[in-house]
Amino acid sequence: MKYILAHDLGTSGNKATLYSEEGKLTASVTMEYELLLSNGNWAEQRANDWWQAVCLSTRKLLETVDPRDIAAVSFSGQMLGCLCVDVNGEPLDNSIIWADMRSSEEEEIIRGRIAESDFYRITGHRISPAYSLFKLLWMKRNKPEIYAKTHQMLNAKDYILFRLTGNFQTEYSDASSTCMMDLNTLQWSQELLETAELDASKLPELKSSIDTAGTVTAEAARATGLLEGTPVILGGGDGACAAVGTGCVREGIANCVLGTSSWISITSDVPIFDEGMTTFNFAHIVPGKIMPTGTIQTGGGALSWAVKTLYGQEDSSYSLMQKETVQSPLGARGLLFLPYLIGERSPRWDAFARGSFVGLTLDHHRGDMIRAVMEGVAMNLDLVLKVFEKRTDIRELITIGGGARNDLWLQIFADVFGKTIVKPNVLEEATSMGAAITGGVGVGLFEDFQVIDRFLQPEENFAPNLENTGKYGKFKQLFDESYFALKDIFKKLA
């Protein structure tokens, strides 16, 4: 039996998993590392902490299988980072990770040099300090001595690929999160690099996600317990790996992730450039495909906040919440909820937006408020879905994440969207599963990404009640009108 070792380098730790060639998860272990927060909006991590977590978790998993049975090592990793390393691959500073928003001045510099619509057409993204381009520019302007010594700027998994193989490389999905790659050509954009006055030689070689980065070196073998010569596949960014792990590998299938933040992604042959720039695009890990995406800041996070606030955190309160919410009718007795608890990305792109109950009366109870939250998140994500439906026919959405455990919520999504919602047999392992499949395809263990059907099976389908879908039409219009009526007030409150 052959196995694929997949690492998922997240924000709180590295999750290492073993998948058999039959598509079974056979072992999993997580090693945590520190998140360094400072100055209000700085977020950093130490790259060597990532490496130690990979070494320890690999050794732990190799207690359960023979290293000779590892067909490949593959990766998923946090995106939008900026780690500067020298010519020997030594980190010159902490990695500035995706959550860091320090580069607001750099954002304004770029806005003054290029129209946002042009930036969007090149990168697939809006101008935002979240992306690597702005972080590397911040490094050049604020730590010029480090920028001068920088041989390569890497994302998290790219650094581990170097530690395992000795090669500096990245792949298209991670590169598309830097906003330095032209999504249309899959090459580093000379136009953008010249606009930002950044050196193209500091960026790693671009390859496909299923390409081999190299093989495990003797030094890396000693550190991890892997056999020297074991193939290492590049893998992909965590969002793209999660899409594969939900079966979003062909057109017509969308994935809906109900985590703390929530998003919808689809697979497309070409980028979807929305006129209002409400959605964005990543390069997919499926070769030749693009992954249009729309992310809302609080999906499952909004529901968790509401449940804890209204019901407390005791286990027994959850069943009471479920009972009371089921008793609330469609529309929550005329109550709307705007789920903008920490501002909003797609579809509003409004940092000042705030969460709001609209229409609250003395007749409403807790169950109505929880249902309004569920419906508000669904109506917000429906705005994202409608952008994609202008370009492609979406038949069903495969839904994962903690929120996918709530059957009532899944039925609300089906009714609001007017689409079938598929609940798969695996809800929490999509990212590592996507990385594992990428590794298996890369070494020829699997023919192509359609092998996801071996890993993932539908457990339950939630078909839309079309009568309810029609009724939600009125509430969706009121939901939209409520946001625009309060938009200026949100800004004044801030």
Q: Per-residue DSSP letters for 184-247?
A: TTTEE-HHHHHHHT--GGGSPEEE-TTSEEEE--HHHHHHH-PPTT-EEE--EEHHHHHHHHTT
Does 239 reside within a domain?
Answer: no
The domain boundary residue, chosen from 180, 209, 234: 234
pLDDT mean over 115-133: 96
Residue with tokens 């309160």: 317
Does 186 reside within a domain?
Answer: yes
Round to whole Å and give the CA distance between 315 and 91.
Answer: 44
pLDDT mean over 67-72: 98
Q: How far is CA 374 from CA 56, 67, 97, 370, 394, in A?
A: 40, 46, 30, 6, 22
Does 479 reside within a domain?
Answer: yes
One domain, residues 39 and 99 = yes
Total domains in the fold of the chain = 2
Does 188 reside within a domain?
Answer: yes
Cα atoms in the 13 Å half-sphere on the side-chain side of 120: 14
Judged against a pLDDT cut of 80, whether residue 314 lies above it is answered with no
Does 140 reside within a domain?
Answer: yes
One domain, residues 205 and 252 = no
Mean pLDDT of the chain: 95
Q: Whole domain around residue 373: which residue ranges?
A: 247-494
Judged against a pLDDT cut of 80, whether residue 128 lies above it is answered with yes
pLDDT mean over 2-11: 96
pLDDT mean over 191-197: 97
One domain, residues 26 and 158 = yes
Task: Kindly indicate the confidence band of residue 40, based on its pLDDT and cuts at 50, 70 and 90.
Answer: confident
Q: How far is CA 3 from CA 57, 71, 428, in A?
A: 15, 6, 20
One domain, residues 186 and 253 = no
Residue with tokens 């317990």: 225
Judged against a pLDDT cut of 70, whether residue 176 lies above it is answered with yes
Identity at 125, one-letter amino acid code: H
Does 182 reside within a domain?
Answer: yes
One domain, residues 295 and 400 = yes
Question: What is the DSSP secondary structure assignment for residue 91, as one 8-state letter?
Answer: B
**Residues in a beta bridge with 255:** 265, 398
Q: Cβ contacts of residue 477 below 8 Å, gap of 6+?
A: none
**Residues in a beta bridge with 344:** 350
Round to whole Å and give the CA distance between 254 and 394.
Answer: 7
Region of poorest pLDDT, from 91-95, 105-109, 203-207, 318-322: 318-322
Query: How many residues are given for the chain?
Result: 494
Q: CB atoms < 10 A from the CB of 290, how many?
A: 22
One domain, residues 263 and 119 = no
One domain, residues 160 and 68 = yes
**Cα 367 to the chain's mean position, in Å?**
31
This prediction has a pTM of: 0.90
Q: Per-residue DSSP letters for 390-405?
A: TTS---EEEEESGGGG
Q: What is the predicted pLDDT for the residue at 111? A: 97
Q: Work out the angle between the directed axes of helices 466-493 and 366-389 (0-180°, nearest 10).
A: 100
Does 242 reside within a domain?
Answer: no
One domain, residues 214 and 252 = no
Q: Which of 151, 129, 128 is nearest to 203 (CA)?
A: 151
Q: Is-contact 202 111, C-beta < 8 A?
A: no
- 229 phi, psi to nearest 5 deg: 95, -5
One domain, residues 50 and 80 = yes
Cis preceding-peptide flag for 347 (omega within 30 of 0):
yes
**Residues in a beta bridge with 182:** 187
One domain, residues 205 and 266 = no
Question: What is the DSSP secondary structure assignment for residue 105, as one 8-state letter?
Answer: H
One domain, residues 365 and 407 = yes
Q: Which of 449, 460, 313 is nearest to 396 (CA)?
A: 460
- 331 phi, psi to nearest 5 deg: 90, 0
Name the token pair of 376: 């508000």
Q: Per-residue DSSP letters for 49-69?
A: HHHHHHHHHHHHHTTTS-GGG
For strands 36-38 and 25-32, give the pairing: unpaired
Q: What is the predicted pLDDT for the residue at 315? A: 62
One domain, residues 8 and 45 = yes
The domain boundary residue, chosen from 207, 234, 261: 234
Q: What is the predicted pLDDT for the residue at 316? A: 65
Taking every pair of Cα atoms in the chain, the longest distance, rounded to a whole number of angstroms, is 70
Does 240 reside within a domain?
Answer: no
- 65 phi, psi to nearest 5 deg: -140, 160
Round to whole Å and give the CA distance between 72 and 166.
Answer: 16
Q: Which of 283, 29, 10, 26 is nearest to 160 (CA)?
A: 10
Judged against a pLDDT cut of 70, whether residue 394 lies above it is answered with yes
Q: Per-residue DSSP letters for 308-329?
A: HHHH-S-HHHHHHHHHHHHTSP
Q: Which of 154-163, 293-302, 451-460 has the highest mean pLDDT?
A: 154-163
Judged against a pLDDT cut of 70, whether residue 330 lies above it is answered with yes
**DSSP-derived 3-state class of residue 125:** coil
Report the CATH number that the domain containing residue 421 is assigned in CATH.
3.30.420.40
Round to whole Å and give the CA distance between 309 and 387.
Answer: 33
| Backbone CA torsion sign across 99, 281, 457, 441 | negative
The domain boundary residue, chosen from 165, 199, 234: 234
